[in-house]
Amino acid sequence: MEHILEVKNVTKVFAGDVQALDDVSFSVESGEFILIGGSNGSGKSVLMALIAGLDEPSSGSIELQAGVRAGLVFQDADAQILGESPWEDVAFGAKNCGLKKNALDECVKSALEKTGLADKKDFPSRQMSGGEKRRLAVAGILAMGRELIIFDEPFANLDWPGVRQVCAILRQLKEDGKTVIVLTHEIEKILALASRFIILDKGKIRFDGTPEEGLALDLEKYSIRNPLRTYKSAGDLLWL
């Protein structure tokens, strides 16, 4: 497998000498499903913004494989909605990528079908549920042909049905061989899908290995509740 992303010795310092990331390094191979766990304020959202090119590191480098671009699913799903309907929203990004009428229509139709939103293609986007809005964001990313999909706290402010919808689309992306990075403190909801578990704490990577190895650690010292207090094994950690 080939590396699709290389994060090398990345540090990010904001005004007032506030250090959000401290010498962060890891690589991502094509087709991997990685969960980056960390408490609020650990640096997860900052890391996502840097990988996506929305900001630049103070030092270090972030290298995406030639031709690869990342697609983002933000905590605030409403912030990503640009179209009045799911069809218009998905078409907006695909059109900006240069797709013309026939190819555009087929691409949008396919993306909505893959995310289970075909029957809501004309529904008012902002009246959709939280889970549906996150699926809509994924549809837009698929339509633009993004090879790497990053989710920042995908379960934030979702009810049980919404969480299940997001877990279902994450499982589908894994089955389709997409490269996925999920950044969340709610590891119990999705860890079963992960091939790799990274712990980010106070801007530093404290662990990078298998979910089973990570669950054997004292996660509480990183302000992460160990789900094995409630669940039997890593394989049970999927809210579907």
- In the three-class reduction of DSSP (H, G, I as helix; E, B as strand; rest coil), residue 162 is classed as helix
Q: What percent of the chain has pLDDT over 70?
A: 100
Tokens of 146: 């993004």
Average pLDDT score, the chain: 95
Contact 150, 5 (CB under 8 A): no
User: For residue 162, is it within any domain?
Assistant: yes
Asked whether residue 91 carries a pLDDT value surpassing 70, the answer given is: yes
Tell me, yes or no, whether 52 and 154 share the same domain. Answer: yes
Q: What is the CATH number of the domain that holds 10?
A: 3.40.50.300
Which pLDDT does position 31 carry in this prediction?
95
Nearest residue to 182 (alpha-carbon basis) of 202, 155, 160, 214: 155
**Position 219 confidence tier, pLDDT thresholds 50, 70, 90:** very high
Which pLDDT does position 2 carry in this prediction?
74
Q: Average the pLDDT over 58-63 and give the result.
A: 98
Domain final residue pick, 114, 130, 146? 146
Tell me, yes or no, whether 87 and 187 share the same domain. Answer: no
Which pLDDT does position 54 carry in this prediction?
92
Asked whether residue 1 carries a pLDDT value surpassing 70, the answer given is: no
Domain final residue pick, 100, 118, 146? 146
217 or 98, which is more confident?
217
Tell me, yes or no, whether 219 and 115 share the same domain. Answer: no
Asked whether residue 231 carries a pLDDT value surpassing 70, the answer given is: yes
Tell me, yes or no, whether 162 and 138 share the same domain. Answer: no
Phi-psi region of 31 (alpha: psi -120 to 50; beta: other; left: phi over 0): left
Domain span at residue 40 reads 1-68+150-239
Tell me, yes or no, whether 205 and 170 share the same domain. Answer: yes
Give residue 144's Cα distance to chain centre. Answer: 16
Which pLDDT does position 156 carry in this prediction?
92
User: For residue 56, is it within any domain?
Assistant: yes
Q: What percent of the chain has pLDDT over 90?
A: 91
Tell me, yes or no, whether 59 and 164 share the same domain. Answer: yes
Domain final residue pick, 129, 146, 163? 146
Which pLDDT does position 98 carry in this prediction?
87
User: For residue 58, is it within any domain?
Assistant: yes
Q: What are the pLDDT digits (tens) for 37-58?
A: 999 999 999 999 999 999 999 9
Tell me, yes or no, whether 178 and 231 share the same domain. Answer: yes
Tell me, yes or no, whether 50 and 163 share the same domain. Answer: yes
Which pLDDT does position 100 carry in this prediction?
87
Tokens of 47: 């890391």
Q: In what order do the strands lie in the sheet with 33-37?
A: 70-73, 148-152, 179-184, 33-37, 196-201, 204-209
**Position 77 confidence tier, pLDDT thresholds 50, 70, 90:** confident
From the CB of residue 230, how many other CB atoms can be counted at a distance below 10 Å? 10
| Phi, psi (rounded to 5 degrees) for 166 | -70, -40
Query: Rounded distance, CA 159 to CA 133, Å?
Result: 13
**Position 97 confidence tier, pLDDT thresholds 50, 70, 90:** confident
Tell me, yes or no, whether 165 and 226 share the same domain. Answer: yes
Question: Long-range CB contacts (< 8 A, 24+ apart) of 125-128?
Answer: 125/81, 125/83, 125/84, 125/85, 125/86, 125/88, 125/89, 126/78, 126/81, 128/86
Which pLDDT does position 5 carry in this prediction?
97
Tell me, yes or no, whether 48 and 159 share the same domain. Answer: yes
Task: Give the chain's domain count.
Answer: 2
Q: Average the pLDDT over 69-78 and give the result.
A: 91
Tokens of 35: 């969960």
Tell me, yes or no, whether 64 and 183 share the same domain. Answer: yes
Tell me, yes or no, whether 46 and 1 share the same domain. Answer: yes
Which pLDDT does position 187 carry in this prediction?
98
Asked whether residue 198 carries a pLDDT value surpassing 70, the answer given is: yes
User: For residue 75, is it within any domain?
Assistant: no
User: For residue 74, is it within any domain?
Assistant: no
In this prediction the pTM is 0.94
Phi-psi region of 18 (alpha: psi -120 to 50; beta: other; left: phi over 0): beta
